[in-house]
């Protein structure tokens, strides 16, 4: 049986390829051993046909298996162009809203004692937007809000530029603020997006929760 395996971020660079057909595996847990990339790193997740699955998931001919390294944390839109707070806010305006809460994540010049030159973001397109939508649906069950929008950059993001913009409109500020905070916290844990810090003298892929 043949499946398509996709790698991202640090795993892609480590392997030297991003996509490859692999024969002779029947379960997700069989994928890593055939990649010949050494011991399996902690924290890997797997997705089959753009949905997260458990390691004992059985595979079918032609499945796409994505090996997901720890993510860093979108309407749910990915953009290679600069983000606009005004555009994101306009997407959530509602006559029901008494408040609009926003979050803007920007590239800072210092990180862990190093001088950062810029960031590079990579995404599993298609799945990233889908997971953003799932986050929004889960938030809708816990908070009374009108609309939510998440836009996230891909590619190079220079110092001071936004990498993610989130807006939530709600009848009351408590729900708008709480849903906005949970949206960014959950995005950084679940959405298949990766961040590379390019700093003076080197570069490094930054993992979950950064």
Helix (H) or strand (E) holding 86: helix 85-92
pLDDT tens per residue across span 50-75: 888 888 999 999 999 999 876 554 36
pLDDT tens per residue across span 143-154: 999 999 999 999
Q: Residue 15: is it exposed, middle or buried by C-beta count within 10 angstroms (0-12/13-18/19+)?
A: middle
Residues 42 and 136 in one domain: no
Residues 121 and 21 in one domain: no
Residues 103 and 57 in one domain: no
Number of independent structural domains in the chain: 2
- pLDDT range class, residue 42, cuts 50, 70, 90: low
Look up the domain containing 46 and give its range.
2-68
The domain that holds 176 is classified in CATH as 3.90.1170.40
Distances (CA, A) of 106 to 72, 153, 159, 165, 166: 14, 11, 8, 9, 12
Residues 58 and 88 in one domain: no
Task: Name residue 100's beta-bridge partners.
Answer: 169
Distances (CA, A) of 118 to 111, 160, 184: 11, 9, 21
CA pair distance 49, 58, nearest whole angstrom? 12
């Amino acid at each position: 049986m043949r499946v398509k395996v996709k790698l991202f971020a640090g795993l892609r660079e480590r392997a030297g390829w991003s996509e490859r057909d692999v024969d002779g595996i029947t379960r997700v847990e069989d994928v890593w051993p055939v990649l010949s990339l050494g011991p399996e790193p902690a924290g890997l997740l797997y997705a089959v046909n753009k949905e997260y699955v458990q390691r004992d998931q059985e595979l079918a001919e032609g499945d796409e298996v994505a090996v997901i390294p720890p993510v860093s944390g979108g309407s749910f839109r990915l953009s290679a162009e600069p983000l606009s707070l005004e555009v994101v806010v306009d997407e959530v305006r509602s006559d029901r809203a008494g408040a609009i809460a926003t979050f803007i994540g920007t590239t800072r010049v210092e990180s862990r004692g190093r001088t950062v030159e810029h960031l590079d973001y990579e995404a599993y397109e298609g799945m990233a937007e889908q997971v953003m939508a799932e986050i929004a649906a889960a938030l809708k069950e816990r908070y009374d809000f009108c609309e939510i929008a998440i836009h996230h950059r891909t590619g190079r993001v220079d110092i001071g530029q936004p990498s993610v913009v989130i807006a939530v409109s709600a009848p009351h500020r408590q729900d708008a603020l709480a849903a906005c905070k949970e949206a960014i916290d959950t995005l950084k844990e679940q959405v298949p997006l990766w961040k590379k810090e390019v700093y003076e003298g080197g570069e490094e892929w930054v993992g979950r929760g950064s």
